[in-house]
Structure 1
Amino acid sequence: ILETAGEDVLEMFTRESGNRNLAADPSALPWMDCPVIDMSLLLSSSEGEAAEELRKLHYALVSWGSFQLINHGIMESLLNKIRENSKEFFVLPVEERMKYLRAPNDPEGYGNDTVLSRNVPHNWNDRLYLNVYPEDRRRLVFWPQNPSDFRGTLHEFTMKVKEVNETIVQAMARCLGLEDNSFLEEYGESVTIQARINHYPKCPFPELVRASRTHSDASAMTFLLQDKQVEGLQVLKDDNWFKVPIIPNALFVNVGDQMEIMSNGIFKSAVHRVVANSEKERLSVAMFCSPCSEMEIGPFKKLVNENQPPLYKTIKQYGQIFFQYHPKGERPITSMKI
């Protein structure tokens, strides 16, 4: 694609069919200024420190639907290793990567995302999408064996993210005056985690395409390890786009659609996108944490009353619903509103 980039190929990636207008220069956008949450302070034995950090978390969740998380307990060496293994996979010969190619109607595996409308642009990226937890749902046929330590690294990273998710979701419940495990109990027997490793190649026409088009996540919570040097992620707030800065060793955390539903709209699912870059390639690792797919999710009962009626339907299999809407460029959460 990079070598040919003919007019018909370019049309697959333009932001809107037939739209060749240049977008605003990403460098001119303001930087996101949401709180940086220190997870160690959320766990502090000092009531004052913990309460102040909880206040900052509540503000971030209500105002932005996202935040930067530091001191999360995942070692820098592991963060570097998952990045290194991911980069090693994406520089393999294409024949090697194609061994893990996803099926046409299945998101799991290597490739690009399904698009179901001619008016919806393809994303300028390759990705490896895997079910990583519970372990019995792993389909190892899609897990690369090269590099040789990829599987072990991803397993270790998954288990660490699982712990971080539990701590953050418990803190989110406390933000609303609920018992610590209120949201976690809505997850069912176990959290479900998918990993999406994104590779964004250099793009010769970044003003015309999206590395990842505008969307919110289907998850309850998303934990993103950004590229160490190359920015590109942007978040929408009050109809304005903001650039997300890179903070060394931080995880960028998004509220997903399912948490917006469970919180009855108090916490906002973050709408975001990724812009293309003509000079540098970029890599990120996203971990999507969600309730068990067999669980019904809806507004948490203690957040619903006469003055605060339920804003969303009670549903199952939100992930499947997401993949019915997202390939058409639509936000599925809008169909869940009462």
Structure 2
Amino acid sequence: MEGSMEDVRSTLLVQELAGMRSKSVPRQYIVQQEDQPTIAATASFPIVDLGRLSQPDGDANEAVKLRQAMESWGLFMVTNHGIEDALMDNVMNVSREFFQQHLGEKQKYTNLIDGKHFQLEGYGNDQVKSDTQILDWLDRLYLKVDPADERNLSVWPKHPESFRDVLDEFLIKCDGVKNSLLPSMAKLLKLNEDYFVRQFSDRPTTIARFNYYPQCPRPDLVYGMKPHSDATILTILMVDNDVGGLQVLKDGVWYDVPTKPHTLLINLGDHMEIMSNGIFKSSVHRVMTNPEKERISVVLFYFMNLEKEIEPALELIDERHPARYKRVKIMDYLAGLFEHFLQGTRVIDTVKI
């Protein structure tokens, strides 16, 4: 079926829209002309060998690469991370199988209560708060995975049958990656090695998000996901092996993030920038659409206990280096996140001194 959808105010999921094979997109996905996607630059992207970095005596070369990545990019690739290729393939396979199911099966896990009340967890897309809101070209499954006793299993897919077991195994492995990286990050700031690890000692929150970006007929007008930064300490991403789309902003220039099979991407969030007093950078990133290929990513967002407050590490503050960020409760920080995302602004700018 082909035709124009520009004047349609769609309530369909993006995967349904893509299945209509129209040459246009509904108007609520079209970004303003001044914000429309542009061609990105390419550069030598930072890659860190986690095995070498985590050796007992450390690896000076890997530590230098890590510092450069955290101070300049806020986003880097990790190799030799200890997660088996087969497990990573299984995660992508069960994710793809979930999204390829009939709509009725996926809607069992909808993020709309009674068809109209939005909740973060579940399957669907972002909350629509106004007729003028510009939507992203993706559907997603959003699951709270930690604390484990707060899991809402009613929105955890039962099909594919291996979904829950595969996700649990992947979570354990990624937790190991996180706990291997954090001491090296702390050492770069001359903090105690366990400084960042300790931030996760009291009922931290972890969110898993499975993103599905269908083919888009107008990648010149539509974002897979608008520019934003993550309100986390750090984020771990696994993306399709051969379909790019992620871009990162560095020094005012957008760069393509390369893909490499069986690697992970580590993204620094706003809370890491705050705790490092601005030494490490939270990355601003976006996702482009593809006219020919679908794209899937699996993302783990790592937060401290949401009732805690966050502020620059006291060890990094003195007369020459005053605090650059206010102390803020994490729950309050997150409360304004979506509104800033819609407006193309950043929450972190509201807590800068």
The amino acid across from 1:77 in the alignment is A
Percent sequence identity is: 40
d(CA) in 1 for partners of 2:74, 2:262: 20
Cα drift, residue 191 of structure 1: 3.3
> What SS is found at the alignment partner of 1:285?
strand
d(CA) in 2 for partners of 1:2, 1:109: 31
d(CA) in 1 for partners of 2:199, 2:99: 36
Q: 2:226 maps to which residue? A: 213
d(CA) in 2 for partners of 1:179, 1:224: 27
Cα drift, residue 69 of structure 1: 0.3
Check 1:93–1:2 CA distance in 2 against 1; reply closer, same or farther (3 A cut): farther
Does 1:57 find its partner at 2:66? yes
d(CA) in 2 for partners of 1:171, 1:326: 31
Q: 1:7 maps to which residue? A: 7
Does 1:92 find its partner at 2:101? yes
Q: 2:212 maps to which residue? A: 199
> What SS is found at the alignment partner of 2:291?
coil
d(CA) in 2 for partners of 1:73, 1:56: 19
Higher mean C-alpha displacement, 6-15 vs 122-131: 6-15
Check 1:258–1:105 CA distance in 2 against 1; reply closer, same or farther (3 A cut): farther
Check 1:32–1:159 CA distance in 2 against 1; reply closer, same or farther (3 A cut): farther
8 Å Cα contact 2:31-2:221 kept in structure 1: yes
Does 1:337 find its partner at 2:345? no
> What SS is found at the alignment partner of 1:7?
coil
Does 1:81 find its partner at 2:85? no
**Structure 2 matches for 1:250-329, cutoff 5 A?**
250-316=263-329, 317=331, 318-329=333-344
d(CA) in 2 for partners of 1:32, 1:160: 30
d(CA) in 2 for partners of 1:246, 1:42: 21
d(CA) in 1 for partners of 2:339, 2:149: 25
d(CA) in 1 for partners of 2:151, 2:303: 15
Q: 1:43 maps to which residue? A: 54
Check 1:177–1:200 CA distance in 2 against 1; reply closer, same or farther (3 A cut): same
d(CA) in 1 for partners of 2:308, 2:34: 44
d(CA) in 1 for partners of 2:122, 2:231: 18
Cα drift, residue 155 of structure 1: 0.9
Does 1:140 find its partner at 2:147? no
8 Å Cα contact 2:238-2:297 kept in structure 1: yes
Q: 2:17 maps to which residue? A: none
d(CA) in 1 for partners of 2:130, 2:226: 14
Q: 2:142 maps to which residue? A: 129
Cα drift, residue 299 of structure 1: 0.6
d(CA) in 2 for partners of 1:305, 1:187: 26
The amino acid across from 1:274 in the alignment is V
The amino acid across from 2:69 in the alignment is A
The amino acid across from 1:15 in the alignment is V
State the TM-score, normalizing by the size of structure 2. Answer: 0.89
8 Å Cα contact 1:260-1:266 kept in structure 2: yes
d(CA) in 1 for partners of 2:79, 2:336: 33
d(CA) in 1 for partners of 2:48, 2:35: 38
Check 1:94–1:2 CA distance in 2 against 1; reply closer, same or farther (3 A cut): farther
Does 1:178 find its partner at 2:194? no
8 Å Cα contact 1:14-1:20 kept in structure 2: no
Check 1:96–1:291 CA distance in 2 against 1; reply closer, same or farther (3 A cut): same
**Stretches of structure 1 lacking an aligned partner (at least 5 in a row):** none
Check 1:2–1:82 CA distance in 2 against 1; reply closer, same or farther (3 A cut): farther
Cα drift, residue 21 of structure 1: 8.7
> What SS is found at the alignment partner of 1:72?
coil
d(CA) in 2 for partners of 1:287, 1:279: 27
Higher mean C-alpha displacement, 49-58 vs 250-259: 49-58
The amino acid across from 2:53 in the alignment is L
**Stretches of structure 2 lacking an aligned partner (at least 5 in a row):** 10-25
Check 1:274–1:21 CA distance in 2 against 1; reply closer, same or farther (3 A cut): closer
State the TM-score, normalizing by the size of structure 1. Answer: 0.92
